[in-house]
């Protein structure tokens, strides 16, 4: 390659090309990962993200739809690696793997692979993929070990910045250690190879880009992109009235100390174009594995407030200050248990947004479900081969009503990007199960002028013996709250039927041994309502009843709308009288 010219500025066309090519590289990494992975959590559910990060740990890009709560925890992996190995400690063809909680505290199933990207002998950036493996040993099978594990060693295999490939050659001894410590090596190691393939693809694309425009033009454009993203965010923050804003919520407990809530207290400070999110009032480290080391809650809230539809990079967060102390449950110190690291994050995001509701009453929605979805996890053996399998899906839930329309139904949380549930046809084709029902959950959306979105009710029968792993409800006592007179959404719940003719029994959570013909029922939460439900037009309430979203009883008791059960028409006189009566009783 010829010497780079002196770059005083980058022309708009070059800047525009590089600006769009960078996220396109991350998106292409995503496609490679999906096409070549073994695990439905990756190729169907999409529980992963792909990114480029510079040697200083600055995020260059992340794929569209990449899991949102991974955004804050990729740069720290690179910073730690450079601190350990030095910038001269990497070589072309190297490949690293890590999931250790001391750096980016998540559950051990979230495994990061990364490779250094060299162009003409110069380290330009790192390509990273974080993806959810179905098993890393210990108690990790499925979505993770759960919140009751005592430490990381119970959870599974810990990989701490391991150089698995050196100059293109795999370390078979390390690979053997990984293989021997996981239950589904064909799946997990297949996913690992897919992750590295995506990273190698990124190496090729970055090399092409730098060769075409030159290293100086590339780096100058990246700096300009950061500046541009920062400026865009600052303009949004400047429109928010200066002040200090507060809100608090909680999880029922940490799943170990059952009588002690996990407190989430936030203070948001707006000064001009600077925004500070103070999380120092949140609970300290807990015995339950709800701990983490992440700024994801603050980052997601800030991004959703500022430029949610624009590509994300390091500049997206320059004007944000996050105040959080070591020992906070979201900045926990290793080896605090972190297997359920993300369970609190949706509530953290909701609480930050709620704090700003007085300043942005026509922007902020009511709380969404506050959960990472209803987990469908069944572990058993294939009847023909005896091979072990894991059924996995994430069932969506409701979002909060908005100042202009109802909340979305059956969607994953704000922390999950493009994560989605597994298709019924694929689940039944791959595993000996029968999905009897997947439907919107009536009356789960919080009543309001704009109703909260609905959760789901999913019923699955296992056709072979095995074990159900039901996720732990975390917000029964603090369900998705409403705003401006809107009411709370319905919390999650689970039920279990031991055989076709056995009664349906409500269950809390945990592992349930299941004989063939048992059925698990997963009910996900609805979002909170926005505005008084008595201000919702009667015809909208009627439409909800006809569609099965709202029951006749809820229409009367919460919305003050009387509907004839036989004709499904609104009794206008009775409705007017009931709404006046309710207004009087509320006054």
- DSSP per-residue letters across 128-165: EEEEE-S--STT-SSS-S-TT--SHHHH-----SEEEE
Inter-residue contact 157 to 66 (CB < 8 Å): no
* Whether residue 433 sits in one domain with residue 405: yes
- Show pLDDT as tens, one digit a residue, over the chain (587 residues): 333 333 346 788 888 999 999 999 999 999 999 999 999 889 988 999 999 999 999 999 999 887 888 888 899 999 999 999 999 999 999 999 999 999 989 999 999 999 999 999 999 999 999 999 999 999 998 888 878 899 999 999 999 999 999 999 999 999 999 999 999 999 999 999 999 999 999 999 999 999 999 999 999 999 999 999 999 999 999 999 999 999 999 999 998 999 999 999 999 999 999 999 999 999 999 999 999 999 999 999 999 999 999 999 999 999 999 999 999 999 999 999 999 999 999 999 999 999 999 999 999 999 999 888 888 999 999 999 999 999 989 999 999 999 999 999 999 999 988 888 899 999 999 999 999 999 999 999 999 999 999 999 999 999 999 999 887 667 889 999 999 999 999 999 999 999 999 999 998 767 899 999 999 999 999 999 999 999 999 999 999 999 999 999 999 999 999 999 999 999 999 999 999 887 656 65
Give the Cβ contact number of residue 408 at 10 Å.
19
Asked whether residue 150 is assigned to any structural domain, the reply reads yes
Of the three residues 197, 212, 229, the one that is the final residue of a domain is 229
Task: Tell me the C-alpha distance between 344 and 291, whole Å.
Answer: 9
| Torsion sign, CA atoms 256, 257, 261, 267 | negative
- Does residue 427 belong to any structural domain of this protein? yes
Tell me if residue 116 falls in helix, strand or coil.
strand
The answer to whether position 3 is within a domain reads no
Distance between CA atoms of residues 446 and 400, nearest Å: 8
- Can you tell me which residue has the tokens 């303009």? 235
93 CB-contact burial (10 Å; exposed 0-12 / middle 13-18 / buried 19+): middle
CB neighbour list of residue 46: distance below 8 Å, 6 or more residues apart: 34, 65, 67, 417, 418, 419, 420
| Same-domain pairing of 525 and 543 | no
484 lies in the same domain as 424: yes
Give the end of a domain, one of 229, 259, 281.
229
**Chosen domain end from 213, 229, 245:** 229
Question: What 8-state DSSP symbol labels residue 104?
Answer: S
Q: Is residue 171 part of a domain?
A: yes
Q: In this predicted model, what pLDDT tens digit does every residue of 296-335 receive, in sequence order?
A: 999 999 999 999 999 999 999 999 999 999 999 999 999 9
CB contact at 8 A, 493 and 412 = no
**Structure tokens belonging to residue 266:** 């936030």
Separation between Cα atoms, residue 117 and residue 58, nearest integer Å: 14
Query: Could you give the dihedral angle defined by the CA atoms of residues 184, 188, 191 and 193, in that order, rounded to the nearest 10 degrees?
Result: -110
Please, which residues bridge with residue 293 across strands? 331
Helix (H) or strand (E) holding 381: strand 374-381
Of 289, 312, 317, 361, nearest to 105 by C-alpha is 289
Residue 527 and residue 549: Cα distance in Å, rounded? 13
548 & 404 share domain? no
DSSP result, 20-34: HHHHHHHHHHHHHHH
Tell me: do 560 and 426 sit in the same domain.
no
Structural domains in the chain (count): 3
* CA pair distance 382, 379, nearest whole angstrom: 10
Quick one: 48 and 166 in the same domain?
Answer: yes
Number of other CB atoms surrounding residue 353 within 10 Å: 26
Together in a domain, 504 and 551 = no
Domain that holds residue 447: 365-532
Sheet of 466-470: strand order equals: 388-395, 374-381, 466-470, 510-514
Nearest CA-CA partner of 484 in 314, 583, 362, 345: 362
Residues 477 and 582 grouped into a single domain = no
Q: Do residues 98 and 192 both lie within one domain? A: yes
Contacts of 264 by beta carbon, 8 Å cutoff, 6+ apart: 248, 249, 250, 251, 282, 283, 344, 347, 348, 351
| C-alpha closest to that of 80 among 102, 113, 52 | 102
Residues 120 and 29 in one domain: yes
The answer to whether position 412 is within a domain reads yes
Assigned token pair, 574:
């009775």
Is residue 390 located within the same domain as residue 424?
yes
Rg (CA), the chain: 25
Asked if the structure places residue 344 within a domain, the reply is no
Residue 350 lies in a domain: no
290 and 253 Cβ atoms separated by less than 8 Å:
no
CB 528 within 8 A of CB 401: yes
Assign residue 415 a region: left if phi > 0, alpha if psi is -120 to 50, beta otherwise? alpha
> Which pLDDT score is estimated for 9?
67
Neighbouring residues of 208: CB distance < 8 A, sequence distance ≥ 6: none
For β-strands 59-62 and 122-132, DSSP reports them as unpaired
Residue 329 lies inside a defined structural domain of this protein: no
Residues 494 and 563 in one domain: no
- Look at the alpha carbons of 570, 576, 579, 585 in this order and tell me if their dihedral is positive or negative: negative
């Amino acid at each position: 390659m010829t010497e780079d010219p002196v770059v005083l500025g980058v022309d708009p066309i070059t800047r525009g090309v590089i600006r769009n090519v960078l996220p396109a590289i991350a998106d292409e990494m995503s496609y490679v990962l999906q096409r070549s992975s073994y695990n439905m959590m990756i190729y169907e559910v999409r529980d992963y993200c792909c990114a480029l990060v510079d040697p200083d740990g600055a995020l260059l890009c992340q794929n569209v739809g990449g899991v949102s709560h991974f955004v804050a925890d990729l740069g720290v992996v690179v910073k730690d690696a450079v601190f350990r190995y030095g910038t001269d400690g990497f070589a072309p063809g190297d490949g690293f793997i890590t999931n250790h909680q001391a750096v980016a505290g998540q559950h051990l199933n979230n495994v990061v692979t990364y490779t250094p990207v060299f162009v003409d002998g110069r380290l330009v950036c790192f390509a990273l993929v974080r993806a959810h493996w179905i098993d890393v040993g210990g108690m990790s099978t499925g979505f993770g070990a759960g919140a009751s594990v005592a430490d990381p060693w119970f959870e599974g295999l810990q990989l701490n910045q391991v150089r698995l490939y050196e100059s293109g050659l795999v370390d078979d001894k390390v690979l053997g250690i990984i293989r021997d410590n996981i239950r589904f090596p064909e799946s997990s190691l297949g996913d690992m190879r897919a992750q590295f393939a995506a990273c190698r693809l990124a190496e090729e694309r970055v090399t092409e880009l730098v060769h075409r425009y030159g290293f100086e033009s590339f780096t100058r454009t990246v700096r300009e992109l950061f500046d541009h993203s920062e400026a865009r965010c600052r303009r949004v923050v400047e429109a928010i009235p200066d002040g200090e804003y507060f809100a608090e919520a909680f999880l029922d407990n940490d799943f170990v100390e059952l009588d002690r809530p996990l407190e989430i207290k936030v203070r948001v400070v707006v000064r001009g174009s600077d925004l500070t999110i103070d999380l120092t009032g949140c609970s300290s480290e807990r015995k339950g594995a709800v701990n983490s080391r992440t700024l994801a809650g603050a980052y997601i809230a800030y991004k959703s407030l500022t430029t949610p539809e624009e590509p994300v990079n390091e500049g997206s967060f320059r004007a944000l200050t996050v105040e959080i102390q070591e020992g906070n449950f979201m900045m926990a110190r290793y080896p605090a248990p972190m297997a359920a690291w993300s369970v609190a994050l949706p509530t953290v995001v909701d609480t930050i947004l709620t704090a700003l509701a007085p300043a942005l009453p026509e922007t902020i929605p009511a709380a969404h479900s506050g959960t990472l979805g209803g987990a469908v996890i069944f572990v058993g053996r294939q009847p023909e081969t005896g091979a072990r399998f894991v059924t996995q899906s994430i069932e969506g839930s409701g979002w909060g009503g908005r100042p202009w329309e109802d909340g979305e139904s059956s969607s994953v949380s704000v922390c999950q990007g493009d994560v989605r549930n597994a298709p019924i046809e694929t689940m039944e084709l791959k595993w000996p199960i029968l999905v009897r029902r997947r439907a919107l959950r009536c009356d789960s959306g919080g009543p309001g002028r704009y109703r909260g979105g609905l959760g789901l009710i999913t019923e699955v029968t296992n056709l072979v013996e095995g074990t159900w792993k039901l996720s732990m409800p975390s917000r029964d006592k603090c369900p998705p709250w409403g705003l401006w007179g809107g009411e709370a959404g319905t919390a999650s719940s689970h039920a279990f039927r031991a055989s076709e003719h056995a009664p349906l029994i409500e269950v809390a959570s945990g592992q349930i041994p299941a004989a063939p013909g048992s059925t698990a029922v997963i009910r996900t939460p609805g979002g909170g309502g926005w505005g008084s439900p008595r201000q919702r037009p009667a015809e909208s309430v009627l439409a909800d009843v006809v569609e099965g979203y709202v029951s006749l009883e809820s229409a009367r008791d919460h919305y003050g709308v009387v509907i004839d059960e036989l004709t499904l028409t609104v009794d206008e006189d009775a409705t007017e009288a009931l709404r006046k009566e309710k207004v009087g009783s509320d006054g």
